[in-house]
Structure 1
Amino acid sequence: MTIDLQEFGATTDRFAQAGTLPGQTLARVTAQHRELYQVITARGSQSAQVAGRLSHNLREATDFPAVGDWVAVTATQTPAMIQRVLPRQSVLIRGAVGKAGGQVIAANVDTIFICMSLNANFNARRIERYLTMAWDSGAVPVVVLTKADLCADVAAKLAELAPVTVGVDVLTCSAQTGEGVAALKAYVTGNQTVSFIGSSGVGKSTLINHLLGTAQLATKAIRADDDKGRHATTARELLRLPDGGVVIDTPGMRELQVQGGNLDQAFADVTALASHCKFRNCTHQTEPGCAVQAALAAGQLDAERLASYQKLQRELAYSDMNARERENAKIERAFGSKRAMKQTMDHVKRVKRR
């Protein structure tokens, strides 16, 4: 049985990239289990691992194959050997919780569905974080508001999100009633790849089951006492949809650390205001001629949105630093310099001795 890789998103360019060396063939990573991968080739699905030479040459954790990656493999052995990771069209990366560096969530995605439920999980600030990360990936984000059947005033929620989602499609849907599922399907055509991200329990797996036309993915109900989600998906997985296109399911994120981000696009309103500040390096705090602070005072900019922008700005500045650089940056932000910090601490000690 021969597999048509075009059904998994392959293009003429991808076949050309993989076939530049003899013995190597095109494959797409469909799942990862620690150091072992599952890939799909023209011959079918098989297990694979990273070849020793490739593993030695890769410098960052995010350079290793991830679900959605197109790779060149030698498939004549079991497991197949991944020889190269082909250039990524897009890559969604988040900060690795408790670790240095980032973690690839999905690669070569055309559309990212950012899912948030219209119950106690609803949080405009969280959407800002997801959009900052999604715009940086190279894919197009779409906000999907789930569990519309549990919300008494959907219009009010949409109005709250409007300043946050300028230029972004926003869909409302309900897995229970089927509302919005047809609109979701319109994004998955031909050889498009879509990915679902969001907190645990927002209904990602249930929506994917609707696209699959079968209850293939396990689902769990939210906790009744606090609307908190429970993990149903435990690993990333790429699945082909019966009507065309592929979908990548991802585990729910309890904590979203931003590794890279596009603040200019996610906060286009703030950056547009900042372009009119008197000083190019304005921090939008107390500088004279700050257009951002002027908009805040005039009620044209929400204080929480500005605070979210500044918080993400600091996180992105810290994300590429090592531990010592991060600590020095925090000291400089709080005291101005290490010398000023020492003077402050000495003053506090003298006061305590009195």
Structure 2
Amino acid sequence: MNPAPDLQAIGWRAGIDPRWQDAMAAHPQARPARVVEQHRSGYVVATGPGDGVAVESLPEWQRPVGYRKGTVAPEDRPAVGDWVLVEDGKRIVALLPRRSAIKRAAAGEHYRQQLIAANVDVAFVVCGLDGDFNPRRIERYLLLVQGSGAQPVVVLTKADLPGADPAAARAALAAIGELGVPAVAVNARDPAAVQALSPWLRPGDTAVLVGSSGAGKSTLTNTLLGVDRMKTAAVREHDARGRHTTTHRALLPLPSGACLIDTPGMRELKPTGEEEIADGGFADIEALAAECRFRDCAHGREPGCAVRAAIARGELDEGRFLNYLKLGGEVAAASGRLASRLADRQGAKPPPRAPSKRPGDRTGKR
């Protein structure tokens, strides 16, 4: 099947993914379309850069999430960016396998995953150079993005504000930069300034914007589109927090030929348990921990702790180290909940937690 140019304009890659062949053979009358909006009541899909159309979804995608027979987990349902097969132009009959997926654990007591975006090439982690700037939160975003299959790029907005210091912000993110994650400072309202993002917005590329409310995602989207399509609002002066001006995820074709997915601000970023702690920008700490004298070094008062020695020499920021421990604990806990959930589905005893998920238990020898 040779895709129409309109499909290529919304991110269709050359050639057919071999994993899609079975689904396409099972539904020969169906045509591929991309999910461009996701609402509680259903999906909007498109076959080109024009307006999308609301479609019916499979019944199992409409049932409340739970463990009853026939229920589909949230991460196995379509999300913005997914490719689906549509029959008669109005009914989804299949979800095509993804090449990448950015997820987080949903809020609540029970373990669930929430898909943020699918089939993306780059994730712009947007953070304002005002009270929103928080290197620890950026590390948390990187933890979720790095294992997704998408390339992370930190975008520092509001570089035009009085008192903004892009050089100091880049210095605070130096450890992330050494791992190959770019940090780009822009004035999100300036079309010339946002051209700095063009290397990641080539024809056929799909990017997603993630960040807290008020970070400038919608402003950046409007500038890249060349029109004021997304609603924006000022942040609160006393704490630089923003309002949720974006209420749902949407995929938008850009004049460059790339596609952009704007997302609502996320206040809670919980790991799914599938992450590796080094992906949060902590590969240097992992390397130091491998030099500790004891395998079970907790990096406290143990003799021969290479991590504490690096902190004492001023070579490792203690705030980064504490965030490493915090996120590592969260990943380990989420990994256990994920294992229990999978075991419940299969009616088996949960497997033991993987030691690679625990930051303080992978070093040296006792």
TM-score (norm 2): 0.81
Rounded Cα–Cα distance in structure 2 between residues aligned with 1:115 and 1:210: 14
Matching residue's letter, 2:59: G
Choose from 283, 288, 291 the match for 1:268: 283
Give 1:308 deviation, angstroms. 0.3
Contact kept, 8 Å, 2:102 with 2:117, in 1: the verdict is yes
Matching residue's letter, 1:7: A
Choose from 28, 34, 42 the match for 2:40: 34
Stretch of structure 1 that moved more, 123-132 or 224-233:
224-233
Matching residue's letter, 1:13: I
Residue matched to 1:47: 54
1:104 aligns with 2:118: no
Choose from 220, 238, 252 the match for 2:265: 252
Contact kept, 8 Å, 2:123 with 2:151, in 1: the verdict is yes
Q: Report the CA distance shift for 1:190/1:176 in structure 2 as closer, same or farther (over 3 A).
A: closer
Q: Percent of aligned positions with the same letter in both sequences? A: 44
Contact kept, 8 Å, 2:277 with 2:331, in 1: the verdict is no
Residue matched to 1:10: 12
1:62 aligns with 2:75: yes
Rounded Cα–Cα distance in structure 1 between residues aligned with 2:251 and 2:189: 24
Q: Report the CA distance shift for 1:58/1:25 in structure 2 as closer, same or farther (over 3 A).
A: farther
Rounded Cα–Cα distance in structure 1 between residues aligned with 2:229 and 2:78: 25
RMSD: 2.7
Q: Render the CA deviation track for 1:247-285: whole Å, top value 9, x for unaligned.
A: 000001122222243322321111111222233443333
Rounded Cα–Cα distance in structure 1 between residues aligned with 2:257 and 2:220: 16
Secondary structure, aligned partner of 1:8: coil
1:295 aligns with 2:305: no
Stretch of structure 1 that moved more, 272-281 or 5-14:
272-281
Residue matched to 2:148: 137
Secondary structure, aligned partner of 2:25: coil
Q: Which has the larger radius of gyration?
A: 1
Rounded Cα–Cα distance in structure 2 between residues aligned with 1:161 and 1:272: 18
Rounded Cα–Cα distance in structure 2 between residues aligned with 1:197 and 1:310: 24
Aligned pairs for 1:195-206 within 5 A: 195-206=208-219
Q: Report the number of matched residues.
A: 324
Give 1:44 deviation, angstroms. 7.2
Residue matched to 1:235: 248
Give 1:111 deviation, angstroms. 0.4
Q: Render the CA deviation track for 1:130-181: whole Å, top value 9, x for unaligned.
A: 1111102110000000001115232222211212332111100012444631
Choose from 151, 165, 176 the match for 1:164: 176
Contact kept, 8 Å, 1:238 with 1:248, in 2: the verdict is yes
Choose from 15, 21, 24 the match for 1:19: 24
Residue matched to 1:313: 328
Rounded Cα–Cα distance in structure 1 between residues aligned with 2:254 and 2:169: 31
Q: Render the CA deviation track for 1:231-260: whole Å, top value 9, x for unaligned.
A: 110000001112201000000112222224
Rounded Cα–Cα distance in structure 2 between residues aligned with 1:20 and 1:160: 52
Q: Which runs of 5+ in 2 are unaligned?
A: 63-68, 341-352, 359-366
Q: Which runs of 5+ in 1 are unaligned?
A: 334-354
Q: Render the CA deviation track for 1:65-105: whole Å, top value 9, x for unaligned.
A: 100011222x2163x12x22222111110121225211100
Give 1:315 deviation, angstroms. 0.4
Give 1:57 deviation, angstroms. 5.5
Matching residue's letter, 2:208: S
Give 1:127 deviation, angstroms. 0.8
Rounded Cα–Cα distance in structure 2 between residues aligned with 1:142 and 1:278: 35
Matching residue's letter, 1:270: I
Residue matched to 1:89: 99
Secondary structure, aligned partner of 2:75: helix
Matching residue's letter, 2:107: V
Rounded Cα–Cα distance in structure 2 between residues aligned with 1:102 and 1:49: 23
Matching residue's letter, 1:136: G
Secondary structure, aligned partner of 1:32: strand
Give 1:292 deviation, angstroms. 1.6
Secondary structure, aligned partner of 1:164: helix
| Larger proportion of helix | 1
